[in-house]
Every structure is written in structure tokens, then in C-alpha cells.
């Protein structure tokens, strides 16, 4: 079944995406640099030294602006920016090594952007090899990167494969020329096919395509053509994201406002695309994600080991994720921190061997309970509401839960919450009912995308 038009209208409200809890706008910002360093050391001593850590490295440069994109990026064709930026990342990493005070075990690296393949293969080799020399690899490490099909070369793929990378994610979004023109993301099918073939020849075990529904000029006919092309290449994973229209934050999005589908049409595009993916043999993993049954993401879902962090769904359950680079977010389970967003400010602080912190949040015990619940709901479609959280829920939020139960979106039994298949369409709305940080700061105007 699909959501009725009335339910779509009712629940298509701005809510967080819940890649974290608390979400960034509701952090207390109760951590200065020294406090963050103490928190990192405590987390490492308590569990990171044994479990291992993961790294997210933000590479923000792009040669052109894609108007749908909400990431932190710097548009430039000047590749002289590569070396000083990577040197700053390494200095930031050196500071973390001093804080950890022992050689860390490395579970994973993810290169995000921006466009990581903006950087030359030899530049990426310089960065990663330096990091690898200062760490010990865990037995089941996982290295991945995001690539633009137009500039991901065979040399990029080979160089990174030799360093241990075997997962790549390509930002496709849509194959229709009219849609691509509107969002300023020009990439012919032939370029994607070549980048996919090169990845397989280079030994990559998992390829992901990012696709978006709700873009300007999209119809069921154009989406069917896109998915037919996807079917020819058959990536192991697909992220099928909802387009987030936030023109107040990203003014370039105003250029195609008149050509966006309405909320009912947008939801129909998702249901249509989901049906096509299931017909093609993909399984729905969680909010926005699909995988072939042979992929580790699907196996993690079935085994109850699926995890979610700032990068989306993952098989890596490391409690420590250190973010390097401008605007990167670190998560050490008991707290969050975000780096300076502006490249120049980031480089200046990192070059002084300082953690370039712009904001941070140390979790309370209540935060940790809610975080665990939200993770269960988003990863496993069910969870036990802690008694202490249930008691603190506003009466209206409890009423909304019972209302959702009457709409067959969830089932609530003795504080155990089970989300139905239809209910997963509004899982962000369900999680928001437990977001006590958001309840406390209702007056704060946070710019969230709509749920559906």
C-alpha cells in the first residue's frame, strides 16, 4: 500500500533527517576545543582503542555548481588549492594523534565532498598514504569515496584501490537531459557507464548510485528511463533520496521552482521508483536506501547490525567517527563537534595544529537514550521507548503516536514501537515526536527539508 493523499499532505512537514541526535541546530554548543579534546580522549580510552575508529574526510572543491546540492562546497577550477588543503588536513590529523596518544586501529575511511575526484590521483595518494602510515588497519576495514562520473578517471580508481578502497559512490541523480540541465549536473550515460566499468575492472566490490526524486521536470516516464539505464549497470547499492528544496539557503534553486512536482506527485515518483527497484531485485534497507541481496548492507539489515551516521546507512558500527576537513562533523558517541566551514579559516587553525572547532555538543544521558531509540527506529523499524523518555513526552506527542497507530503507521504495545511498512514513509515524523531537544527550542527557526 501507499500513503493516501490526505496522509501525504498531513505529514509532509519540515523535520530533521536524523543522521544524528541531537540534530545540529539543537546542539548546546557546550564544548570548547579543550573540552572536545578531553571528550575524544575519554571516548578513545573507553572504547575506541579496542573497537577502532573511522574517518570522514571532507574534500569540498567542485569545478561547477549543481543547484540541487545542499553540501558545503567551494566552486573553483583552480587546482592549486589541492596541496595546501591536504596539508591542513594532515596537520589536523596529527593533532588527533597527539590526543589519542597511541596508534589507532582504523576501521574505515570515507572521502566525501564536494567532489573528492576534483583532487588528482597523486594528491589523494599523498593524503591517504600518510594517514595509513600512522594507523593500524583492522581486519575488516572499509574504505569508500564519492566520485563524479565526469571526472573519476581510471587512474583515480586504480590509485585508491591500491590503497585499500573497494567501495565507490557515484552521484547520478537523474539521466534525463532536461532534468540535468535544470539542476546543472551534466553527465551522459556513457560517462557513468565508463566510470562503473572502470570501478569493476579495478576490483571494487560495491558501487553505489545516488539518485534523487522530486527534481524539476521529472515524470514517471523520465524516471522509468533513468531506472532502465541504472538496471543496465546494476550497482550493488542505490540511495534514492528525496530532493530537499531550500531556496532560502540555496538561492540557485529558485530558478526551477515552477517545474517541481507537487507533494502528491513527488510521493508517487518515490513509490514508482521503489517498485521498479524491487522488480530489478533490490531490497529496501531503510529510509532512502536499497541494496542487492548479496550486498553487506542488506546482510547487516537482516542480521540487525545496520548502523546510521552522518553519512547515512552503513555496516560500520564504530562509535568513534572523526571528521577531518572544512565543515566535517565528528561523532565520538558521547559528543559531536563540527569544524570551521570556510576553507581559509579551517586551514589557518589546522596549520596551527589546533582542532578547528566551530561548535560542539556533549551528550546528556537523556540524549544518549533518545539517540539509541531513534537509531533503532530508523535502522530496524522498531524500538523500546525508555520509561524515562515516555514520562517526559509532551501529552500532544503521545496523542500523535496513538493517532498514527489509528492510521496503521505504527503499533505501540507497552512502550514497544513497531513501524509499519507504510509508516516508514513518515519515520522522520515519528522520530521527531521523541526529539526533546527540538521541543525545548521550538522558538528556534531551523531550516529542515520536508519529510515526504
Residue 443 pLDDT: 67
The answer to whether the annotation marks 185 as part of a ligand binding site is yes
Residue 68 pLDDT: 87
Chain segment 82-120, per-residue pLDDT in tens: 999 999 999 999 999 999 999 999 999 999 999 999 999
- Model confidence at 250: pLDDT above 90: no
Name which residue leads in pLDDT, 9 or 156.
156
The answer to whether the annotation marks 329 as part of a ligand binding site is yes
The answer to whether the annotation marks 146 as part of a ligand binding site is yes
Q: Mean pLDDT throughout 116-132?
A: 97
The answer to whether the annotation marks 173 as part of a ligand binding site is yes
The answer to whether the annotation marks 214 as part of a ligand binding site is no
Which residue do the cell numbers 590509485 mark?
159
The answer to whether the annotation marks 6 as part of a ligand binding site is no
Residue 351 pLDDT: 96
- Model confidence at 293: pLDDT above 90: yes
Residue 313 pLDDT: 84
- Model confidence at 299: pLDDT above 70: yes
- Model confidence at 386: pLDDT above 80: yes
Boundaries of every domain in the chain = 1-22+364-452, 24-362
Q: Mean pLDDT throughout 41-55?
A: 96
Q: Running DSSP on this structure, what letter comes out for residue 385? A: P
Confidence of residue 228 (pLDDT cuts 50, 70, 90): very high
- Model confidence at 311: pLDDT above 80: no
Locate 137 and state its grid cell. 588497519
In terms of Cβ atoms closer than 10 Å to its own Cβ (0-12, 13-18, 19+), residue 389 is middle
Chain segment 184-217, per-residue pLDDT in tens: 999 999 999 999 999 999 999 999 999 999 999 9
Which phi and psi (to 5°) does residue 62 adopt?
-135, 150
Residue 246 pLDDT: 84
Dihedral sign for Cα atoms in the order 348, 117, 146, 164? negative
pTM assigned to the model: 0.94
Q: Mean pLDDT throughout 300-322?
A: 85
Q: Mean pLDDT throughout 227-244?
A: 95
Which fold, 1-22+364-452? Arc Repressor Mutant, subunit A (1.10.10)
Locate 238 and state its grid cell. 542505490
The answer to whether the annotation marks 66 as part of a ligand binding site is yes
Locate 301 and state its grid cell. 539489515
- State the Cα–Cα distance between residues 297 and 283, nearest whole angstrom: 10
The answer to whether the annotation marks 70 as part of a ligand binding site is yes
- State the Cα–Cα distance between residues 288 and 238, nearest whole angstrom: 8
Strands 410-413 and 416-419, how do they pair? antiparallel
- Model confidence at 20: pLDDT above 90: no
Chain segment 265-289, per-residue pLDDT in tens: 999 999 999 999 999 999 999 888 9
What residues form DSSP beta bridges with 201? Answer: none
Residue 236 CA to chain centroid, in angstroms?
A: 17
- Model confidence at 254: pLDDT above 80: yes
Confidence of residue 171 (pLDDT cuts 50, 70, 90): very high
Residue 205 pLDDT: 95
Pick among 3.40.50.12500, 3.30.750.24, 3.80.30.20, 3.90.950.20: CATH of 24-362? 3.80.30.20
The answer to whether the annotation marks 69 as part of a ligand binding site is yes
Chain segment 338-352, per-residue pLDDT in tens: 999 999 999 999 999
Locate 199 and state its grid cell. 570501478
The answer to whether the annotation marks 62 as part of a ligand binding site is yes
Confidence of residue 251 (pLDDT cuts 50, 70, 90): confident
- In the chain, the percentage of residues whose pLDDT exceeds 70 is 99
The answer to whether the annotation marks 52 as part of a ligand binding site is no
- Mean pLDDT value across the chain: 93
What residues form DSSP beta bridges with 168? Answer: 145, 207
- State the Cα–Cα distance between residues 149 and 195, nearest whole angstrom: 6
Residue 1 pLDDT: 58
Residue 215 in 3-state DSSP? coil
Q: Measuring CA to CA, how many Å separate 119 from each of 142, 151, 153, 393, 442?
A: 21, 10, 11, 48, 42
Q: If you compute the radius of gyration of the chain from its CA atoms, what whole number of angstroms results?
A: 21
Amino acid at each position: 500500500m501507499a500513503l493516501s493523499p490526505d496522509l501525504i499532505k498531513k505529514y509532509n512537514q519540515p523535520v530533521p533527517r536524523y543522521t544524528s541526535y541531537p540534530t545540529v541546530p539543537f546542539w548546546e554548543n557546550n564544548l570548547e576545543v579543550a573540552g572536545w579534546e578531553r571528550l575524544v580522549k575519554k571516548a578513545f580510552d573507553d572504547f575506541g582503542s579496542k573497537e577502532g575508529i573511522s574517518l570522514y574526510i571532507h574534500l569540498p572543491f567542485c569545478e561547477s555548481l549543481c543547484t540541487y546540492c545542499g553540501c558545503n562546497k567551494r566552486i573553483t577550477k583552480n587546482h592549486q588549492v589541492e596541496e595546501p588543503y591536504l596539508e591542513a588536513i594532515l596537520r589536523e590529523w596529527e593533532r588527533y594523534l597527539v590526543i589519542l596518544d597511541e596508534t589507532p586501529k582504523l576501521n574505515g575511511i570515507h572521502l566525501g565532498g564536494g567532489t573528492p575526484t576534483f583532487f588528482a590521483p597523486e594528491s589523494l595518494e599523498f593524503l591517504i598514504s600518510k594517514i595509513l602510515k600512522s594507523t593500524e588497519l583492522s581486519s575488516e576495514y572499509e574504505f569508500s569515496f564519492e566520485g563524479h562520473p565526469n571526472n573519476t578517471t581510471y587512474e583515480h580508481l586504480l590509485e585508491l584501490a591500491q590503497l585499500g578502497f573497494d567501495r565507490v559512490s557515484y552521484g547520478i541523480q537523474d539521466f534525463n537531459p532536461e532534468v540535468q540541465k535544470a539542476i546543472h549536473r551534466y553527465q551522459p550515460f556513457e560517462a557513468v557507464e565508463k566510470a562503473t566499468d572502470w570501478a569493476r575492472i579495478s576490483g571494487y566490490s560495491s558501487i553505489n548510485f545516488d539518485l534523487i526524486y522530486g527534481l524539476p521536470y521529472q515524470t514517471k516516464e523520465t524516471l522509468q528511463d533513468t531506472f532502465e539505464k541504472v538496471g543496465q549497470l546494476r550497482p550493488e547499492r542505490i540511495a534514492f533520496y528525496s530532493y530537499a528544496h531550500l531556496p532560502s539557503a540555496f538561492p540557485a534553486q529558485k530558478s526551477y521552482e515552477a517545474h517541481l512536482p507537487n507533494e502528491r506527485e513527488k510521493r508517487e515518483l518515490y513509490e514508482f521508483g521503489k517498485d521498479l527497484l524491487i522488480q530489478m531485485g533490490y531490497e529496501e534497507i531503510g529510509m532512502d536506501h536499497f541494496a542487492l541481496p548479496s550486498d553487506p548492507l542488506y546482510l547487516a539489515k537482516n542480521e540487525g547490525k545496520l548502523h546510521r551516521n552522518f553519512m547515512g546507512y552503513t555496516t560500520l558500527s564504530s562509535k568513534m567517527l572523526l571528521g577531518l576537513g572544512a565543515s566535517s562533523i565528528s561523532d565520538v558517541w558521547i559528543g559531536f563537534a563540527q569544524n570551521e566551514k570556510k576553507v581559509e579559516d579551517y586551514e589557518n587553525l589546522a596549520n596551527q595544529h589546533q582542532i578547528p572547532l566551530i561548535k560542539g555538543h556533549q551528550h546528556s544521558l537523556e540524549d544518549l537514550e533518545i539517540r539509541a531509540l531513534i537509531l533503532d527506529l530508523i535502522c530496524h523499524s522498531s524500538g523500546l521507548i525508555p520509561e524515562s523518555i515516555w514520562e517526559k513526552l509532551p501529552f500532544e506527542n503521545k496523542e500523535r503516536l496513538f493517532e498514527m497507530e489509528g492510521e496503521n503507521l505504527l503499533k505501540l504495545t507497552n512502550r514497544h514501537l513497531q513501524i509499519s511498512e507504510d509508516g516508514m514513509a513518515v519515520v522522520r515524523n515519528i522520530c521527531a515526536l521523541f526529539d526533546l531537544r527540538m521541543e525545548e527550542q521550538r522558538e528556534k527557526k531551523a531550516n529542515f527539508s520536508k519529510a515526504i
